[in-house]
Chains A and B, each alone.
Chain A
């Protein structure tokens, strides 16, 4: 990958973020439903539950991104433009996810009426709170984790699911979508890191938020089996 983070503090931030991501990636292997996915022991019901539980986070995702855009003042208008663009691109992703759920044998009304699980509640609550703060640059850390997971879903999980199941229609379009758009999103993210990781405080805040989001995302996945 072409290296787009150029400033020294941007590089420090990136190292910290990559470490948080790799820690998160490893800890995902402890989540029972992900263990089953990784070890080819996922049932169709599991896959349906996975989509059903991810939907709320995806629906709410574009909301906190939009909210954070409105919290950036004129000194960050360029960041605001990028974030708005990002929200525009992703705010209807949940429709893909719903279609996948139906293709995997689920009922549309079921996924549409499902409530957030405890982890999704916590994740969404935290993200809405942070995005309501003035100039919430730390949310770059949240985007880093969520984009990273999008990439993992696209490159690994979608492949594993396709190996395990045969559906009449594609039932992994949501996961695969991230793979097709990932490169642009990551480039935008790298540019954002360079733009906002300009002080030790900002770097620390970004890394801290990435850790919180990683932990709450993990909780969201753990809660799938508790529903």
Chain B
């Protein structure tokens, strides 16, 4: 059974926020401007992004409502009635609720009846895992179609007031780094078991991922304080204690981050060795790199291995739409499909390296005739 992407959609909350206005939204930590901000922004190359919180750090739209809005955008672009959708597969790093699963909340917001439901929990690659579950569901003929939605509302973690709760009163680099990297948004993909003649239909050839959590330490996390080995947020006497200790900060161990390039390229070489990809036959590359800095590192390593893919084939909207975590690859795919005159037979290679604990997901697509 073949599976096709027959529609895509996205939602980015509010107006685009330029670099100079980020602290108007997230607030100043202890009333002081950040000394790191410009350095990190220069390195990641992002010039604007969107936030679901306002200048008073109030949430203007929930994560599940963002997901639902992207889902509706996707359905509105499709040939399918919402009543005919059989499966909903959702991904996020943090739902609005801790429980139940994010998918339940999105289903309710979309008012989809009696569907098969899946929630994928993780960081950037969780959307690809949600997509794979949906693809497999159609492949084994449990469903004829599936709506896959990925959404992120990370700005709530970056409010100045969160940093001001810390007992130590100082914000370390690893806790501040992502404040200048991540922002909010949602993307959606509609899958069906047949192509649509009147729409751009894209066949999913395969999705695969390689996780390295057994060999590398945690790199991006929420739930554990700095220099803590075992104690996690629920192990404190109160949630307030956990927050004061910094266990609820979103952290990136930047020292470990450089592994991401090596594992991304290692997986790429593995796929070549398995005969799944031939670099010269790839027409478009959509890679969710978090930063311009990593793009150049990936290019260098591919060059070294003589498997470089010309830069003209790479597409990204990171600099204009921001890094929206697991939603980014869907938002990218949506904009890519809508802005390109794709021809039957063209191939698209997608790659989502996740630094959480080093999972790297890959997908190969072919434009249907």
Contacts and interface: CB of A to CB of B under 8 A. Distances in A.
Contact of B216 (A3, A5, A23, A29): A29
Chain B interface main SS type: helix
A26 B307 contact: no
Nearest to B266: A22
Interface residues of A, number: 19
A85 interface: no
A15 to B, nearest CB: 5
Interface stretch (B32-40, B65-73, B84-92, B268-276): B268-276
Interface in B182-226: 212, 214-217
Contacts of B301: 18
Q: Tell me if A's interface is mostly helix, strand, loop or mixed.
A: helix
A184 B316 CA distance: 36
Nearest to B263: A26
A12 B55 CA distance: 54
A30 interface: yes
Nearest to A22: B266
B201 to A, nearest CB: 33
A77 interface: no
A15 B215 contact: no
A68 B79 CA distance: 68
A23 B210 CA distance: 12
A163 B301 CA distance: 27
B306 A19 contact: no
B300 interface: yes
A181 interface: no
B305 A18 contact: yes
A113 interface: no
A3 B303 CA distance: 7
A39 B229 CA distance: 11
Interface of B: 212, 214-217, 262-263, 265-266, 269-270, 272-273, 300-301, 303-307
Interface of A: 1, 3, 5, 10-11, 14-16, 18-19, 22-23, 25-27, 29-30, 38-39
19 contacts: A1-B304, A5-B306, A11-B306, A14-B304, A14-B305, A15-B273, A15-B305, A15-B306, A16-B273, A18-B265, A19-B269, A22-B262, A22-B263, A22-B265, A25-B262, A26-B212, A26-B262, A27-B215, A38-B217
